[in-house]
Homo-oligomer: A and B are copies of this chain.
């Protein structure tokens, strides 16, 4: 029922390997804008009903997509759909800026920041800290098998922020050399557990063992209103290397007790320690 233009955006979103939940939510909002251009009236309403099913399953672990699909009303008013989708994008951009602003205050002079995978919220914090004239260094993982870390490295290179790249297996070694850890999230459950790129949990454990504060950066639309950590369903993409099948869970779950705080546009949330 959805127009081919929309199907091709959804397909592109499903194929995305490097960029995370924030990017996909924005791309999803753009799909809604496109939909509002193409359809109206009853056709639009039906397509919106379909989108409410389709958008979250692009990646079930990314709650931003779920929240986007709930943010857009089911209506036959294409102007309203367009306005809400644009509002979502604007709120996302403002959230990202504010996260940069708040999060950069965590960075002290000569901080050595350990991160994993590529989070646009974390990048925003680095940009804001750089703009404030802070000097700091980043240790980042290559993040196999899709190597999102290398994309982050290119961004840091162009910003003139010094960095070193490590293999994922060296997280434990470099946790001992870092003074702060900062990663993104695809989903924060109601009980404060952080769903993020596989390896994040290991980074949290290594930081805990080395006394390094471990922070998450995430827009509030990544907070899941209902889900608890034991209900999380982790998307898997198996792949082959030298003809051997490799398991490929994309995300892991870091319990709240290892998280010092979650930097959101609303401020730094401290996970509910009593749960």
Contacts and interface: CB of A to CB of B under 8 A. Distances in A.
Main secondary structure of the interface of A (DSSP, over half): mixed
Copy count, this protein chain: 2
A144 B166 CA distance: 11
A141 to B, nearest CB: 8
A145 B241 CA distance: 12
B247 A164 contact: yes
A168 B171 CA distance: 10
A152 B19 CA distance: 33
A108 to B, nearest CB: 23
Contacts of A143: 169
Interface in A153-198: 153, 164-174, 197-198
A142 B248 CA distance: 12
A6 to B, nearest CB: 33
Contacts of A252: 169-170, 172-173
A204 to B, nearest CB: 9
A209 interface: yes
Interface string A73-92: 00000000000000000000
Interface in A91-146: 141-145
Contacts of A172: 198-199, 201-202, 205, 252
Contacts of A197: 169
Interface of A: 141-145, 147, 150, 153, 164-174, 197-199, 201-202, 205-206, 209, 234, 241-242, 244-249, 252
21 contacts: A142-B246, A144-B144, A144-B169, A147-B242, A150-B242, A165-B245, A165-B246, A165-B247, A166-B246, A167-B168, A167-B246, A169-B197, A169-B199, A169-B252, A170-B247, A170-B249, A172-B199, A172-B205, A173-B198, A173-B252, A202-B205
Identify the 3 closest CB pairs spanning chains A and B, nearest first: A169-B199, A172-B201, A205-B205
